[in-house]
Structures are given as C-alpha cells and as structure tokens.
Amino acid sequence: MPRPPPAVFLLGPTASGKTAVSLALAARFPVEIVSVDSALVYRDMDIGTAKPDAATRAAFPHHLVDIVDPVEAYSAGRFREDALRIAGEIAARGRVPLFAGGTMLYERALMRGLAHLPPADAAVREEIDREARARGWPGMHAELARVDAASAARLDPNDSQRIQRALEVYRLAGASLTALIAGGERAASPFAALTLVLEPSDRAVLHRRIEGRFRAMLAAGLVEEVERLRARYALDAGLPSMRAVGYRQVWETLEGKESAATLEARGIAATRQLAKRQLTWLRAMREVERLDCLRPDLAEEVAGRVERYLGA
C-alpha cells in the first residue's frame, strides 16, 4: 500500500498560541493553513473568534475560514469532506496542509472517520429542553451520567448544547454517544501526520491569557459585533454560531437575560470551561508530540520538529 500523504496538525486549547505558531510555520515551510475551528467558519464573526485580520490572511491564506453565514449549520461531517478536498488541492500544488485549531471533534472526524449518528430531532430536543427547564442542566447532566458516563465526564454540568445532543442520541438510538462513536470510526487515516499538541505547564498562566484576550475582545467591540450580526441575519439563540463561547454570553446580555455588569466574568468563565474541555480531549490523544505552549521558544521548537518531519 502507498504511504498516505503528509500533513501537520497543530492542536491546542484556546489562547495556547496556535495562530502565532502556524503563521511562523507558513512563513518558513511549504505549508498552507487549514482551520480546524468550528467558529472560524462563520462570516462576519471576527472579534469573538480571534480571526486573523485581512492583511494576515492576504499574506498567509487560511482555508475553511468565512465559508458559511451565521444562520447556517456546519458539521464535523462537512468539515471532513471539505478538509479532504482542500488537502488534495494543496498536495497538487506540491505543498503540505497545516491543520491548526482547537475543535478536536473535527480532527477526530478527519483522521478516524465518522460514526453514523441519528440526525437532530426537533421533538426530542424540545422534550429535553422542557425537562431542563424543570430540572436544570445539572439535573440533565446527572441523567446523562447514568446512560453515558464517558460523555458526562468530559462535559460541564451546564454545557446545555452538548448534554442535549448526547441525551438526544441516546433517546433516538437506544445506545450512548460514546458507544456509537467508538463503533463507527473505522476509516483508515488519510494522512501520515505529524500531530503537535500545545498544552500549558501552568494552567494559571493560560487562564490569565484567556482573561486578557476576552477583555481585549470586549474593548475591540464584541458587543457591537453581535449587534451588527443580529441586524444583518435572522439569528436565534439556538443556532450553533450564537452558542459559540463569547457570542452566547453577549446574546444573553442583549436579550436582557443576564446583566451587562457580569458579561466579562461570564465570558471568561465560559472560555475557561472551553479550554478545560479541549485539554481533556487532548490528554486522551495518542501518537502525538506534546509541547509546553508557555515555553518562550515555542515557535522555534515547533519549526524544528516540522523541519525534521518534512525532511524525513
């Protein structure tokens, strides 16, 4: 069998420095950046996603950025199709795809294939939402723990979107999301990949980065960005785009459901929870090379490993 084509993966939690490192790699090696981020796919969502600015993207094109409107859904399955197509185009140009991001479900779908999961069912989701209004999402999380302990263990008790989906899958399929995913991933790896994982040696430092970045987003006009989105698109709180960290907290503020005085604290807390979920996922990954994202020579160390890989 021929060896699969090369690819580099640069994965890590939010605020781990992936963007800066990926740009340094793109400046030095024959790679093209492919975003592995479920929020960067949306047009006009720039501030809250920390999207690279126009000048940066003109110098270093990013694939799978700004490809759908915020009213549209974008799935792991669609990502896999798009990423494989784009990787083929990059290879045809004699270059190597550099997959960079923090949506590990996308990476898993790309490298291991997808389980056949039941599609969303509006009636079941409404039933779960109705129960959640009565019991609270921590109560629904406890129910999930009884039927799918592995999914519950990696989810925050208030992560309504993911708890809802896991319970929905169980009620529709009669089997847990964990079992279906494990039984459905059989695709051969499409790449002979170098996978680099950025993790913090000191979680407190990552938290400080998260705090500073969210404050900078607010100062840059995140609230005004969401107001513009609401004026331009027929959005609602249930859309995946508006469930993204930061956007959800701003939406709740604009709807009067939460106080503007608590927006900063809520946004920072939600981003910390996102980072925690990402790190939990990353820790379970095998056959990866792990680097401390806080080391001062991070870009140089990553470049050295990529150079050895591409020269092999």
Strand 289-292 with 192-199, pairing = parallel
Of 162 and 272, the structure prediction assigns the larger pLDDT to 272
**Residue 116 in this model has a pLDDT that exceeds 80:** no
Of 74 and 99, the structure prediction assigns the larger pLDDT to 99
- pLDDT given for residue 187 in this prediction: 65
Model-level pTM?
0.85
- pLDDT given for residue 127 in this prediction: 94
The phi, psi pair for 99, rounded to 5°, reads -85, 115
**Long-range contacts: 155-159, Cβ < 8 Å, 24+?**
155/277, 156/273, 156/276, 156/277, 159/273, 159/277
Q: Which of 151-160, 220-229, 281-290 has the lowest mean pLDDT?
A: 151-160
The phi, psi pair for 12, rounded to 5°, reads 180, 170
**Residue 182 in this model has a pLDDT that exceeds 90:** no
Q: Average pLDDT of 204-229?
A: 98
**Residue 232 in this model has a pLDDT that exceeds 70:** yes
Q: How sure is the predictor about 186, in pLDDT bands with cuts at 50, 70 and 90? A: low
Q: Which of 77-91, 106-120, 222-236, 241-255 has the lowest mean pLDDT?
A: 106-120
Neighbours of 109 (CB within 10 A): 23
Q: How many Å from the N-terminal Cα to the C-terminal Cα in the chain?
A: 19
Whole-number mean pLDDT of the chain? Answer: 94
Helix, strand, or coil (residue 103): coil
**Residue 189 in this model has a pLDDT that exceeds 90:** no
Q: Average pLDDT of 115-121?
A: 80
**Residue 1 in this model has a pLDDT that exceeds 70:** no
Q: Average pLDDT of 31-57?
A: 97
- pLDDT given for residue 160 in this prediction: 87
**Residue 64 in this model has a pLDDT that exceeds 90:** yes
Q: Average pLDDT of 192-218?
A: 98
Residues 250, 248: Cα–Cα separation, whole Å = 5
- pLDDT given for residue 178 in this prediction: 85
Q: Which of 28-32, 120-124, 131-135 has the lowest mean pLDDT?
A: 120-124
Q: Could you give the percent of the chain with pLDDT greater than 90? A: 82
229, burial (CB in 10 Å: exposed 0-12, middle 13-18, buried 19+):
buried
Q: How sure is the predictor about 312, in pLDDT bands with cuts at 50, 70 and 90? A: low
**Residue 12 in this model has a pLDDT that exceeds 80:** yes
- pLDDT given for residue 2 in this prediction: 73
Give pLDDT tens digits for 236-280.
998 999 999 999 999 999 999 999 999 999 999 999 999 999 999
